[in-house]
Amino acid sequence: MKTQLDCVPCVLDQCINTLNISKVSDTVKKKTIKMLIKRLEDMDFNLAPTENSDLAYLVCKEATKISDPFKGLKKKYNKLALKVYPSLKKMVDESSDPLYTAAKISVEGNIIDLGIRENNEKGLDFNQILKDIREMPLAINDIEKFRDDLKKIKNILYLGDNAGEIVFDKIFLNQLIKEGKNVVFSVKSGPIINDATIEDAKEAKITELVKVIGTGSGRSGVVFSLVSEEFLKEFKKADLVISKGQANFECLDEVDKNIYFILKAKCAQVASRLKVGYLDVVFVKRRPKWGIRVNSQAF
C-alpha cells in the first residue's frame, strides 16, 4: 500500500496529538511542527503510509527529547486490560466455539484502541466489551478459511499492535497453543505511539506463555529494511502470520505470505483498499489481488 496525498494532514495530526500528550510548551510545539513540515518536503509517496507517519514521531522525539511520551498510558491500559482478562478467558472456556470466540476477543482489542480512547477515568466498560464480542459484525470474516488453514500448518508468527490490546491477544494465543500450534509473538523493539514493546509483553505475562521477539526497530509497521535477523528468520519460518492493526496491514498487504489481518479501518485509504466502509472491522486473509512487492519474493 502506498502513501496518498490524503495521508499528509494525518501525519501532521499525529504529530500534534503526540505533542499534546507530551505536554510541552507552545514554543516547542511550533518548532516541532516546522521541523516536520520541512522533512515532509522529501516525502516518498512510494512508501507505505505508516512509514511516512512514523516521521511525525521521530521528529517529536528529536525536538522534545522525550523518547516515550505514551509510556504512562501504556502501563495504565495494560493494568486495565489485565483486570478483565479472567472474564475474557472464562468466555472462551464456556464457548461452544472457543477458536472463534478467542479470535473475536482479539478483534475487540483492536477496536477499543486502548491507548487512545477517552476512557481514562472510567476504565474499560466490560459490559460494552462483552456486547461487542458477541454482536459486532465483521465486514470481512475469514474465520472459516483460518480454521481450515490451521489444520495444515504448525508455526505461527503473531504480530502484536498496542499495549493493553496485547492482553486480548493473549486470549487468542492461549487458544492457538491449545490447537497445537507453535506461536511466536512479536512486539516493537523501541517505543512508538502506544505500540507494545518487550516491557509491555512482560507486564501482560505473554513472555511466560510464548516466545516473544522484537521487530528490530521502533517503527509502527514492519519495515523489512529495518527488521532484525531474528524477526526475519521467524517471518520466513512461519507457515501463517497473524497481523494486528492498521500499520502492519499497510506494510504487509503486498507481501506474498499467508497472512491474516485483524484491524479496524481507521482511515478512508485503508477502507478503500479493503473495499469496506470507514471504521469497519475485518478478520481477513491476504488477497492476491492486492499485488506482490518485488522484495517479498523470498517469503
Residues 279, 264 contacting (CB under 8 angstroms)? yes
Q: Which three cell numbers stand for residue 8?
A: 499528509
CA pseudo-torsion sign 178, 179, 181, 186: negative
Query: Which pLDDT value is given to residue 294?
Result: 59
Query: Which pLDDT value is given to residue 278?
Result: 93
Of the candidates 26, 42, 64, which is a domain's last residue? 64
Residue 289 lies in a domain: yes
Residue 69 lies in a domain: no
Residue 2 lies in a domain: no
Q: Where do we find the cell 470466540? A: 101
Pair (156, 90) in one structural domain: yes
Of the candidates 43, 64, 85, which is a domain's last residue? 64
**Domain that includes residue 141, residue range:** 74-296
Pair (118, 184) in one structural domain: yes
Residue 1 lies in a domain: no
98-112 vs 71-93: helix crossing angle, rounded to 10: 160
Q: Which three cell numbers stand for residue 101?
A: 470466540
Query: Which pLDDT value is given to residue 298?
Result: 58
Q: Which of 293, 283, 191 is nearest to 242 (CA)?
A: 283
Distance CA 277, CA 268 (A): 8
Pair (30, 143) in one structural domain: no
Type and span of the H or E element at 259: strand 259-264
Residue 52 lies in a domain: yes
pLDDT truncated to tens, each residue of the chain (299 aa)? 899 998 999 999 999 999 999 999 999 999 999 999 999 999 999 999 999 999 999 999 999 999 999 999 899 889 989 999 999 999 999 999 999 999 999 998 887 765 444 444 455 676 777 777 778 889 999 999 999 999 999 999 999 999 999 999 999 999 999 999 999 999 999 999 999 999 999 999 999 999 999 999 999 999 999 999 999 999 999 999 999 999 999 999 999 999 999 999 989 999 999 999 998 999 999 999 998 875 655 56
Domain count for the chain, please give it.
Answer: 2
- Cα-Cα-Cα-Cα torsion 106, 287, 251, 73, nearest 10 degrees, comes to -20
Residue 246 lies in a domain: yes
Query: Which pLDDT value is given to residue 110?
Result: 85
Residue 121 lies in a domain: yes
HEC sequence for 235-249? HHHCCEEEEECHHHH
Residues 194, 163 contacting (CB under 8 angstroms)? yes
Residue 248 lies in a domain: yes
- What is the value of pTM for the model shown? 0.93
- CATH number, domain containing residue 144: 3.40.50.10880
Question: Concatenated DSSP letters for 61-74?
Answer: HHHH--S-TTHHHH
